[in-house]
Amino acid sequence: MIKYLFLFFLPATIFSQTRYVDDIFPSAFKTTYEYSNKGGESLQLDFYSSKDDSLKNRPLVVFMHGGGFSTGYRNDAEITKLAKAFAKKGYPVASISYRLTRKGKGFGCDTPVKEKLEAFKLAGEDLLDAVCFLSDKKERFKIDPSKIVLAGSSAGAEGILIATYNKSLFFKNNDRYKNIKPVAVVSLAGAILNVDQITKTNAVPGVFFHGTEDPLVPYATASHHYCDPEKSGYMILHGSKSITDKLKTLNSNYLLYSIKNAKHDIFEITEEKLKVIFDFLNTVVIHKKGYQKSILR
């Protein structure tokens, strides 16, 4: 009798899985869409989801690749790995292409600030257009537009962070974009232009990964690429440490994951990084609980 009771309860123990925490789907498939066309350039996104996921109104992750606004691909191996990991847990993912306005031109200390700002603006515009495209077709994609997580690495992280915390710098009077507010951000080596523009209104929670010795995008507050003031590309940026310091003063949720002595080369998505991302999103986005934490590796 005891043997049969054990067998009765065993499946519930083994097979009980939690959406957004465990891999509840065995695989994910990808479908490609054109979300916009700018000057004849087709801008596309790859949408990842499980064929077995029938749930409607799902949180959506939108990812922007890095590459200094001059290179990079939406189907990069690490992005594909990240997208599939999210989809297996029940988060659909859209990985987007955007205009690479600095292709063949560079993005360093000799690039005038005006041109750098233009790259930020156009990338941010493409990101917001992708969000609009997905939101307008929420039934097709089975997503909840009020639960969109923006994620990105390097230039892509700058794009998603500026569109979140510095949107009024570039899109102040754009009615189409004004109601877009992500529920969270995930940034790998990103920064913004003005930390003082983070207020109670737009203090979106976030996960921030950054190398403490990043020579390109400052970990705290410094000039872009650490350019000297006399250079035409001299521009102050506020990195992950400064952003999370501000979020803390506003009592918003954050996770600062600092990688000691690391430079601008932290883009491998390890199992540990995935775990802390999923833990943060499950706590803050799904269960709406508080989360303020700093990790040094």
Q: pLDDT confidence of 11, banded at 50, 70, 90?
A: very low
Please determine, for residue 43, whether its predicted confidence score (pLDDT) is greater than 60.
yes
Alpha carbons 79 and 205: distance in angstroms, whole number: 21
Please determine, for residue 6, whether its predicted confidence score (pLDDT) is greater than 70.
no
Q: What's the confidence (pLDDT) of residue 172?
A: 85
The whole domain housing 132 covers 2-296
Q: What's the confidence (pLDDT) of residue 7?
A: 43
Q: What's the confidence (pLDDT) of residue 117?
A: 98
Q: What's the confidence (pLDDT) of residue 40?
A: 96
CB 84: neighbour CB atoms within 10 A? 19
pLDDT tens digit string along 107-121? 999 999 999 999 999
- From the list 137, 133, 106, 120, the residue with the least C-alpha distance to 44 is 133
Q: pLDDT confidence of 50, banded at 50, 70, 90?
A: very high
Q: What's the confidence (pLDDT) of residue 15?
A: 52
Asked if 227 contacts 235 with a C-beta cutoff of 8 angstroms, the reply is yes
The sheet carrying 292-296 orders its strands as: 29-38, 41-49, 93-96, 58-64, 143-153, 184-188, 206-211, 254-259, 292-296
Q: pLDDT confidence of 174, banded at 50, 70, 90?
A: confident
Please determine, for residue 155, whether its predicted confidence score (pLDDT) is greater than 70.
yes
**Chain-wide mean pLDDT for the chain?**
94
User: Into how many domains does the chain fold?
Assistant: 1
pLDDT tens digit string along 192-237? 999 999 999 999 999 999 999 999 999 999 999 999 999 999 999 9
The mean pLDDT of 56-61, rounded to a whole number, is: 97
* Whole-structure pTM value: 0.94
The mean pLDDT of 56-71, rounded to a whole number, is: 97
CATH assignment of the domain containing 46: 3.40.50.1820
Asked if 199 contacts 251 with a C-beta cutoff of 8 angstroms, the reply is no
